[in-house]
Structures are given as C-alpha cells and as structure tokens.
A and B are shown apart, each in its own frame.
Chain A
C-alpha cells in the first residue's frame, strides 16, 4: 500500500452508525449528512484487505456502527473532491476526503453526490 497516495481503484469505507439513522429506505441511499465532517470525511481505504476484514475493523473501532458505505476513489475524484492518505499510529488505513486543496468541508453538492455513489454493506452481528 502506498502511504503517500490513494490509488484510483481503491475503495473507501465510512462507518454508518445505528443511531442517528442515516439510511433512507425510500431512496435506497444514505443522507448526505453522513459526509459532513468538520475534519474532512474520515474514511478507511481498502489497502488490499478483504471487505470482511475492513468491516470487522471498522465495527471494532466504532462500536455504534451497523454498516459501512463504500465508494471508489476515482468516483470521489470525479466530483473534484480530494482523497488524502492520513495514516496514524492507531490506523494505517485512515484517509480523508476534502472538498478541495483549499477547503476541508465538503460542499452540500459534493456530499449529496457522494451519498448517491455509496454502496451500503451491512455488518454481520458481533
């Protein structure tokens, strides 16, 4: 895994909590509110791990989570948002989605587009 660059083909995962409920079953998508984060949208990159392993680690990290939304890096880049690797001691797979080079907070437009692109993966019960 390249720690300086997230590859276009990599999937990015964001945990979906049990509460508040971001899932809109009528629209079959999550609310764009899930992607509005003051620190940039915190995600885990796949880093060549299996989806099962990624979900397990997300579930362990965020105990309130019941699912994850996955989105491909090149899809995020297609809406002119930035995907930045942000590995930490606690999580080498950590990355952030920023609005642009100069703006961290995603615009409503980009957050809405991300919410439509995401694929929901339910976690299995612990």
Chain B
C-alpha cells in the first residue's frame, strides 16, 4: 500500500499527529477508521502539499485544490474497508485503483468539480469507460468488482 511511502515521507511525529487529528476530528463522520483508510487520508494530505512542477515536467500542483482533496477524502471514507491504491496524476487529478490477480482492473480518475471517470478491464479483457455521477455509484462499482 502507498501509505507506507507516506510514512517514509512524513516524520513519525507528523504521522502520529495526523492519526490523532483524524480520530478527534469533527470534520470526518464518526466511524471506524481502518489502517489503509488512514494511510490513504494521510496520502491525500501529502498530495495536497505538492507544488507546481512536482513531477519535474510542469505538472500543476495540488496546493490550490482543496475542494478536490476534500472530495477525495469523502470518497475514501465512504469506501470503508475496500481501500484502493491512490496516486496523483500530472494532469491535476487523483487516481484510485483496484486490481485482481486475474487481470481485472478498476480505476477511477477524480477531477475538480467532483467529476469522476471510471475505467474497467473485465475478466474477458473487455474495456469499459463510464462517467460516474456520485460517490454512491462509485461505491456500487467497487462492491461489484
């Protein structure tokens, strides 16, 4: 999981403070936070600090994308125990990924203004692109995967 790299990127104290903030936060709904979810929330906070040209190829930073980061956190919290691998892209979006050993693959690319583009590779290698209209719809896709 990616949260390990966040732990590497953050000092131990930063990490402890983050967990404490999440556990005591009134921003997030009261619920059980699993380790992978906390890791992904920490990663999103780390992505939020990425400045312009963070990839060395003129990628836009995420410093001014508070609404996108907040929306992604909402998605992550709603996914409960089915946590994806998450990555920023050099086109200013956040990508969520699930992959099975048999090659089945499910991806969501989340852009500003809560726009979500889904992409799936099925077991028969058929590829499906679909616009996702809500977090509930995204969650249903993940549950069905």
Point out residues on A near B: beta carbons under 8 Å. Answer: 15, 17, 19-22, 24, 27, 31-34, 36-39, 42, 61-65, 105, 107-109, 112
Contacts and interface: CB of A to CB of B under 8 A. Distances in A.
Given A19-B9, A20-B87, A36 B95 contact: yes
Contacts of B55: 15, 17, 37, 62
Interface string B1-37: 0101100110000000000000000000000000000
Interface in B65-103: 85, 87-93, 95, 97, 99
Nearest to B4: A21
Contacts of B92: 38
Contact of B91 (A22, A32, A38): A38
Contacts of B87: 20, 22, 31, 33-34
Contacts of B89: 33, 36-37
Interface in B31-80: 43, 46-47, 50, 54-60
Interface hub of B2, B54, B55 (most chain A Cβ within 10 A): B55
B5 A21 contact: yes
Given A19-B9, A21-B2, A33-B89, 15 more contacts: A20-B5, A20-B46, A20-B87, A27-B99, A31-B85, A31-B97, A32-B97, A33-B95, A36-B90, A37-B55, A37-B89, A38-B92, A63-B56, A65-B56, A108-B109
Main secondary structure of the interface of B (DSSP, over half): mixed
20 contacts: A15-B56, A17-B54, A19-B46, A20-B5, A20-B43, A24-B85, A36-B89, A37-B59, A37-B89, A38-B59, A38-B90, A38-B91, A39-B57, A61-B56, A62-B57, A63-B56, A64-B56, A108-B107, A112-B105, A112-B121
A32 B109 CA distance: 11
Interface residues of B, number: 35
A33 B110 CA distance: 12
A24 B47 CA distance: 18
B47 to A, nearest CB: 7
A33 B88 contact: yes
